[in-house]
Structure 1
Amino acid sequence: MARRWRAYSAFVRTEFEDPAPSGLWRLRGLLRGHQSQALIMLEEQAFLRKEYTPLSLYTRRLAAYNNRIDQFLFNKLNQKAWLDHVMPSVAPPMTHYVAGQHLVDLAKPEERLEFGTILSLVNQKGELFLKPAAGGHAKGALRLVHAPEGLQVNGRNVHAREWLDGFLRQKPDAYTISEIIRQGTWSETFFPPTLNTLRVLTGTHFSNHRTVILAATMKMGRPETYPTDNWKIGRGGISALVDPLNGVLGPGLSYNSETRGRQVSERHPDSGVQIRNAVIPNWDVVKSRMLRLASQLPYPGLIGWDVALTNDDIVIVEANTTPGLAIHESHASLRRTPEQRAFWAEMGIRDKPRST
């Protein structure tokens, strides 16, 4: 009972972090134990048939079943170290992290650099990407660009010294610093200003460590999401479901603030690039990479991988150990196939989720 109450309380806090589509939808969310923003993004029949996993139930199951993999892989510094060993070709290009008011160079960890060194790094590389090692949902993400006017942070010109002082006042321990990932031409065309990533949801079975791809969804940025492609339950960018058999995209899905409902798009609303029926290049290679990575996890569990598609291969941007399901369930149920249902059954999530 106590676990149920903690999970429901956590859900309520999450529900009130953002405005609800309406008072009625907020009430529906509170009664169903699921975010109102996620409910309104469902197709009407999916909402009526309850073809989603209530967040309050999902939170409880993650706490019980995903705790070991969460402790191992939650921090992005741990992710970098693990990937550098098991599959270095797909590891993110992280170069430094923040320790107090200093930088630690991953190539020379015995040296501590003054934080102001980051300005020379930006001048040298042209661009850098910063984000909290233990954060999520693109909170705190910063894109630093060397420009003729000086320094740009998330597209805004700033005075370098003032930005440095303000950043350090936040005590940004363990912020990671990476070179910019150069995505391939296929994903770049959707919206060039952001890194448009593939979210792959893998499950490693608790019974036999067998791996399965439960869903894949392509994310695409918009001007309001810069410098990331953050979807944020339809309040940010565009998402498109990927057919796991052939890598073909469905239509784009986003939230229409005027109609307060889901909006389906054949093309990206900013670039005009066709979304429906676009095909991810080398999809079989992408699938095999993700299944292999999931099989190499030291513990079973559920991971939502953010994957950059380059012209030659893939790069793991990050691994989410508490992955949201709404980005996938907004398009289709996650219990359509026997393989999906078998994995959720191991987590105690049944075909017809029970209300909290």
Structure 2
Amino acid sequence: MKVKYSVYVRYIKKCFKMLWQLHKEEKLSICSLFIDYAWCLIRHGCLIRHYVIGNFYKRREFERRRILTYRRYLKALNYFNKKESIHILENKHEFNSFFSEYVHRKWLYSPEMSFDDFLGLFKDKKELIVKPYNTCEGEGVYKIYFEKLGEEGAKNIYNKLKTSKYMIEECVLQEPMLSLGSTSVNTLRVETLLDKKTKKSHIVKALFRAGVGHTDIDNYAQGGCVYEVDLSTGRIISSALSKVNNNAIFHPKTNTCMLGFKIPHWEEVVKVCNHAQEKLPTCGLIGWDVAVLCGGGIELIEGNHNPEYEFLEFKGTYRYWEKIKPYMY
């Protein structure tokens, strides 16, 4: 009970802080904001970040009923994604094996690799990316370089990796025009939905994530910019969703105007994501992380059975509950 009580207290404090900031910035009545947010939480299941950052406070009631709030998002996940199948998406080595036709990079799973396997891959590729198994938002991801470590250093790294679960992967060589001056592989997040009646997949929303500096990941949580991609043309149609450079139209690193920026090989991205979704019908709502390779290949990095609902509703087009709900009932 004490733990639950402290969680509630922290959440109330967070609500007060964010609503007070909104009150100061938008000159809105603080009393009206508190009353309205309480209604939105109870009636629609809207969390405070969605209310403030996702502009839920601006929406009229007829729109609020059509927006994918966190409560509705959980309903959708429980309906589409069967618990007995999500391990394929959660466990990275299972994902790489199951979707091997879309995963072209070489990889190793630390509990199952030998030193010869690791050293051979390390010598061959010269640099590898290491991903902790049970983290999210890019936490703990780093690169290792054979030039710096040599065989002795490789042995030390191997011993460390064997103590826990890691994925060790060949670094992806992305399409150069998508690098935008960053050292990260800038990926697409493509949300697919499976129609259970027709067994056909379609894309609900797509976003391009761009790193803004010297980091190994493009993640929004690490300061990257997220832009919505038009599904029919593959062109960017929104300003940035970012913790650091929110609403920026120009990419902060290169000063590139992102509105109208064309994602290369977009048709192939659509094809691969829909095929991958149809390959796993027991998880019918998946957020795919996709890289466009140098030369035009498409690489699946991972699939998420619980993709960020913020990406759906916070930036660009919204009202995704009215788009998802018809496939549930």
Shorter-chain TM-score bucket reads: 0.7 to 0.9
Measure how far apart 1:244 and its partner are: 0.4
Contact 1:236–1:254, Cα closer than 8 Å, also in 2: no
Instruction: Normalising by structure 2, report the TM-score.
Output: 0.76
Contact 2:50–2:69, Cα closer than 8 Å, also in 1: no
Measure how far apart 1:40 and its partner are: 3.4
- Using the TM superposition, name which of 327-336 and 117-126 deviates more: 117-126
Note the residue ranges of structure 1 that are not aligned, 5 or more in a row.
Answer: 1-8, 105-111, 152-158, 349-356
Contact 2:268–2:298, Cα closer than 8 Å, also in 1: no
What are the within-5 Å matches in structure 2 for residues 1-356 of structure 1? Answer: 23-25=17-19, 28=37, 32=41, 33-43=45-55, 47=59, 49-50=63-64, 52-67=67-82, 68-84=84-100, 88=101, 90-99=102-111, 103-104=112-113, 112-113=114-115, 118=118, 121-148=121-148, 150=149, 171-173=163-165, 175-188=166-179, 190-223=180-213, 226-232=215-221, 236-255=223-242, 263-310=246-293, 311-335=295-319, 341=322, 343-347=324-328
Give the partner amino acid of 2:187. T
Please give the alpha-carbon distance, in whole angstroms, between the structure 1 residues aligned to 2:289 and 2:140: 17
When the two chains are superposed, the root-mean-square deviation of aligned CA atoms in Å is 3.5
Deviations 1:283-340 (A, max 9, x none): 222212222222222425101000001132210011111111212322234446xxx8
Give the secondary structure class of the aligned counterpart of 1:244: coil
Q: What is residue 354 of structure 1 aligned with on the other side?
A: none
Deviations 1:178-230 (A, max 9, x none): 10000001211x23300000110000122332211000000011237x21111
Measure how far apart 1:38 and its partner are: 4.2
Specify whether residues 69 and 52 from structure 1 end up closer, same or farther in structure 2 by C-alpha distance, changes over 3 A only: farther
Note the residue ranges of structure 2 that are not aligned, 5 or more in a row.
Answer: 21-33
Specify whether residues 328 and 94 from structure 1 end up closer, same or farther in structure 2 by C-alpha distance, changes over 3 A only: farther
Specify whether residues 253 and 43 from structure 1 end up closer, same or farther in structure 2 by C-alpha distance, changes over 3 A only: farther
Please give the alpha-carbon distance, in whole angstroms, between the structure 2 residues aligned to 1:71 and 1:165: 27
Please give the alpha-carbon distance, in whole angstroms, between the structure 2 residues aligned to 1:300 and 1:207: 14
Please give the alpha-carbon distance, in whole angstroms, between the structure 2 residues aligned to 1:36 and 1:147: 48
Please give the alpha-carbon distance, in whole angstroms, between the structure 2 residues aligned to 1:292 and 1:130: 28
Please give the alpha-carbon distance, in whole angstroms, between the structure 2 residues aligned to 1:95 and 1:145: 15
Contact 1:215–1:328, Cα closer than 8 Å, also in 2: yes
Contact 2:228–2:237, Cα closer than 8 Å, also in 1: yes
Give the secondary structure class of the aligned counterpart of 2:206: strand
Contact 1:94–1:176, Cα closer than 8 Å, also in 2: no
Please give the alpha-carbon distance, in whole angstroms, between the structure 1 residues aligned to 2:172 and 2:39: 40
Deviations 1:101-157 (A, max 9, x none): xx52xxxxxxx338xx75675454221111134543212322223455x48xxxxxx
Higher helix share: 2
Give the secondary structure class of the aligned counterpart of 2:269: helix
**Rg larger for:** 2
Please give the alpha-carbon distance, in whole angstroms, between the structure 2 residues aligned to 1:66 and 1:218: 24
Give the secondary structure class of the aligned counterpart of 1:327: helix
Give the secondary structure class of the aligned counterpart of 1:271: coil
Higher strand share: 1
Please give the alpha-carbon distance, in whole angstroms, between the structure 1 residues aligned to 2:120 and 2:87: 35
Contact 2:190–2:289, Cα closer than 8 Å, also in 1: yes
- Using the TM superposition, name which of 62-71 and 117-126 deviates more: 117-126
Measure how far apart 1:98 and its partner are: 1.1
Instruction: Normalising by structure 1, report the TM-score.
Output: 0.71
Please give the alpha-carbon distance, in whole angstroms, between the structure 2 residues aligned to 1:333 and 1:251: 9
Please give the alpha-carbon distance, in whole angstroms, between the structure 2 residues aligned to 1:147 and 1:252: 40
Aligned length: 297
Please give the alpha-carbon distance, in whole angstroms, between the structure 2 residues aligned to 1:247 and 1:58: 26
